[in-house]
Structure 1
Amino acid sequence: MVKVVAVSGYKPFELGLFQHNHPAVGFIKLAIRKELEALLDNGLEWVIISGQLGTELWAAEVVFDLQTEFPSLQLGVITPFLDQEESWNEQNKELYESVIVQADYVDSITKKKYEGPWQFRLKNQFFVEKSDGLILFYDQEKEGGPKYLYETAQKYKEKHSYDLRLIGFYDMQILVEDLQQDQY
C-alpha cells in the first residue's frame, strides 16, 4: 500500500516550456492526477515534493485540486536546502510561495543554503527512503534532472518493495490522443 508518494520530474526548461499556462502543462497535470487518483483509491495519504519548478509545483497544484474531493490528502514540501528559490524570477517565486503557504508540511533536509550537488543526492535518497512510491515524469529517451532520482529509486527497488511509476512521452502522447478522441 502506498501511503506516501513522492512526485518529481522534468523542470520547465528541460521541456522547452516557458509559460506556466502552456497547454502541455495541463496534460502533464492530468497525467499526474490520474496516477494520484489511482493511489488515492488504495489509501494514499501524503504527496511529497522538493518544491522544484515544473513537474513538482504542477503536482502541488494537482494535490490542491484533489483536496476538494479528498480533504485528508496532504502535501509536504521538503526542500534539499534553504532558500532554493532565491535566484528565481518573480513569477516563479510567486508560484513557489503560493504552494508553500498551502502545503501541510514544509521543511528542508540539510537546513543550510546551497553548498553543492551532494544536497540533491541526499534529497533523492531521502525521498525514496521516506516514501512508498514515486511518480516520476521521466523518459529514458530524454535524459535530464530526473535521471538521478530514477536511478536512486531503481537501486532502492532492488532490495525493497517500492512502487515506481514513470510517466513518459509515449504515455503523454496516448493521453492527448485519448482526450482528442473523446472530443469527437
Structure 2
Amino acid sequence: MQMIQTLVVTGYRSFELGIFKEDDPKIKVIKKVIKNALKQYLEEGLKWVLLGGNLGVEIWTAQLIEELKKEYPELQFSIIYPYLEFGSNWNENNQSKLQKVVEQADYVDAVSHAPYQNPSQLKNHTHFLLTHAQGAIVVYDDEVESKSGYFMDAAKEYAENHDFFLHLITMDDLQNAVFDDSD
C-alpha cells in the first residue's frame, strides 16, 4: 500500500441524518470519529483532504480540519465543487456555512466550469476525486441509503483496478463512539 498523502472525505448530507441544527449532539460524535480517522493518516503522512462542499460530513470535516491544523500545520484541504455556482440555491444560513469553510480552504475550484446542467457533471466530479487521491474516508452504511451511495459504488469499482482504499465509517462505528468517552 502506498503512502496516503491525499484523501477524499465524504458521506451523509445533514438532512439525510435528520440534523438541522448546529448544536445537534450527533455532529460532535461524527466529527470525533472522522477526527480520529484523520489523525491516523496524518501520523502516516497525510497532507491534503479533498472535499466536495456538501452540507453534512464534508462541511463538518472542513470545520474540524481547522482544529487539526493546530496540531498538524502541514494539513491542507481543498473544496472541489462538481460545478460552478454550487450551493447558490441553498438558504442563506447554509450558504453562510459553506462560505465560511471556503474562506478557510487552501484551494477551491470546480471540476465543471459551468453551472449545473446534467448528472454527468456529478459523475465527472466523482471521477476527479477518485483519480486525485489515494483513498477515501466515507461516512456511509449500506443499511441507510443516501446520495453517498453513488460515490461508494464508483469508489468500489475504481478500487478494483487501482491502488485506492476505502475507510468506511458505519452507523455501528458512530454508535460505538457515543459510548466511548475518550476524546
Considering the TM-score relative to the shorter chain, is it more than 0.5?
yes
TM-score of the aligned structures, taking structure 1 as reference length: 0.96
Cα offset, 1:62, TM superposition:
1.1
Task: Find the counterpart in structure 2 of residue 52 from structure 1.
Answer: 54
Q: State the Cα RMSD in Å.
A: 1.1
8 Å CA contact 1:8–1:137 kept in 2: the answer is: yes
Following the alignment from structure 2 to structure 1, what is the Cα–Cα distance between the partners of residues 89 and 161?
A: 38
Give runs of aligned pairs for residues 22-37 of structure 1, distance below 5 A. Answer: 22-37=24-39
What does the per-residue CA deviation read over 1:8-64, in whole Å, with 9 as the maximum and x for residues that have no partner? 000011111111220000110111101100000000000010101100000001111
- Number of matched pairs: 181
- Paired letter, 1:2: I
Cα offset, 1:85, TM superposition:
1.3
What does the per-residue CA deviation read over 1:75-121, in whole Å, with 9 as the maximum and x for residues that have no partner? 11000001111111111111100100110000000001011111111
Query: Is 1:144–2:120 an aligned residue pair?
Result: no
Task: Find the counterpart in structure 1 of residue 121 from structure 2.
Answer: 119
TM-score of the aligned structures, taking structure 2 as reference length: 0.96
- Amino-acid identity (%): 36
8 Å CA contact 1:2–1:163 kept in 2: the answer is: no
Give runs of aligned pairs for residues 2-151 of structure 1, distance below 5 A. Answer: 2-151=4-153
- Paired letter, 1:73: L
Q: Per the alignment, in what secondary structure is the counterpart of residue 67 of structure 1?
A: helix
Gaps of 5+ in 1: none
- Paired letter, 2:76: Q
Gaps of 5+ in 2: none
